[in-house]
Chains A and B, each alone.
Chain A
């Protein structure tokens, strides 16, 4: 696992890949603007071949945001989806806050069958991240082949997300 943070600019927050069982989150403080497009461009750079191999398991990209980018989001998204591995990646979005812009997050997912997950409190966010880093990783980590063209270049099937705590306390 690796992580990018974005606000005023985009940076590798956890630059070196860490096995998921050893991953430790380094806390962030919300501030500044939302350079989501730059973050996607940063990720896209790492999905080129090389450094990515030609064959392998699809990466899982999880975008956690309020869906309100302040920079050129479309340019970043295009840079990502123009890449073979960008298209092949399993893309999941977690919408933070009740007023999150789901349309932007849906464009990132680029698959009408998958909807952004909503996290309106810390417990829901933890549940979603745990699901993405366990159940989703497990489903993409089973090697298989797909006949060229049969899947429309899309993603692997991912399991159904868990229901999340929706209590009234501590709502973002």
Chain B
């Protein structure tokens, strides 16, 4: 095992019901799920649309993160014997469609779609509409996928914060691309990064309720640096213990929307044996 494969990643995350959703007695429509494997971590967050035509979007978001974590975990297992170039090719060309199809299959199962179904598939999927952001981190590569609004930030050792996937300029107000759209996979952005000398020390995935709570883009990007400093001072467990409270305060003072945030931290103080 070389130096790179000894890198240890840990995950923490939380989701909270938005302040306005609490007042309206609505369920949390954001979902988060992760898995820490022997040699990888996978994390997914999703944001159910929550408008009147997507009454089951909280379920749709849950299905999205469950599907993504399971799919990427299996992908990792299969990837061990593949070359990086083959993996990159698959990730960029076929993974989006596979993830979307997996979600559609789960929704149909959940919705109990039968041969005698009278609703159109489009209408059923819209009822469960959700975004999806996912990250798979392995000793050999980092893989990120995003469909819809939300943010993936990477933070380097020196505190430099980068938005990995640029904001979609077509989306204003509350519009988003979605798993429920026709040909949704065409809208999924994928970033495949072979592990190089310089790895991020922190990766942050969040639903749009988080960034929308900040007055400006620089204010939002600053949270990446702030989390890194907090984790270095207090440890990831301490940060994880307070995360829900912080996110609740952020929603209350900010967007009022549900928020889900996941953190993947590269722990340089330990190595796997």
Contacts and interface: CB of A to CB of B under 8 A. Distances in A.
Interface of A: 49, 54-58, 84-85, 88, 141-150, 156-157
B154 interface: no
Interface residues of B, number: 38
Given A142-B26, A143-B256, A148 B129 contact: no
19 contacts: A49-B172, A54-B167, A55-B208, A56-B173, A85-B173, A143-B18, A143-B20, A143-B21, A143-B50, A143-B257, A144-B174, A145-B175, A145-B208, A146-B174, A147-B49, A147-B126, A147-B175, A148-B170, A150-B53
Contacts of B152: none
Nearest to A52: B172
Interface of B: 18, 20-21, 24, 26, 29, 47, 49-53, 126, 129, 131, 148-149, 167, 169-178, 180-181, 208-209, 211-212, 255-258
A145 B51 contact: yes
A144 B212 contact: no
B208 A144 contact: no
Contact of B173 (A55, A142, A147): A55
Residue among A84, A144, A148 with the most chain B CB within 10 A? A144
Contacts of A84: 172-173
Contact of B49 (A55, A56, A141, A146): A146
B79 to A, nearest CB: 31
A147 B128 CA distance: 11
B217 to A, nearest CB: 9
A125 B257 CA distance: 33
B174 A145 contact: yes
B174 A54 contact: no
Contacts of B174: 55-58, 88, 143-146
A145 B149 contact: yes
A148 B173 CA distance: 11
Contacts of B176: 145-148
Nearest to A58: B173
A79 B20 CA distance: 32
Contacts of B177: 147-148
A146 B51 contact: yes
Contact of A142 (B24, B47, B169, B180): B24
Contacts of A49: 172
A158 to B, nearest CB: 11
A157 B53 CA distance: 11
Given A49-B172, A58-B174, A145 B212 contact: no
Nearest to A55: B212
B18 A147 contact: no
A150 B184 CA distance: 13
A143 B209 contact: yes
A55 B208 CA distance: 9
A16 B158 CA distance: 41
Contacts of A146: 49, 51, 174-176
A144 B256 contact: no
Nearest to B251: A143
Contact of A145 (B18, B47, B256): B47
Nearest to B29: A144
Contacts of A148: 170-171, 175-178, 181
Nearest to B168: A148
A145 B172 contact: no
A56 B149 CA distance: 12
A155 to B, nearest CB: 10
Contact of A144 (B49, B178, B181): B49
A142 B167 contact: no
Given A58-B173, A142-B24, A143-B212, 17 more contacts: A54-B167, A55-B208, A55-B211, A56-B173, A57-B173, A84-B173, A143-B18, A145-B49, A145-B174, A145-B208, A146-B176, A147-B126, A147-B178, A148-B176, A148-B177, A150-B129, A156-B51
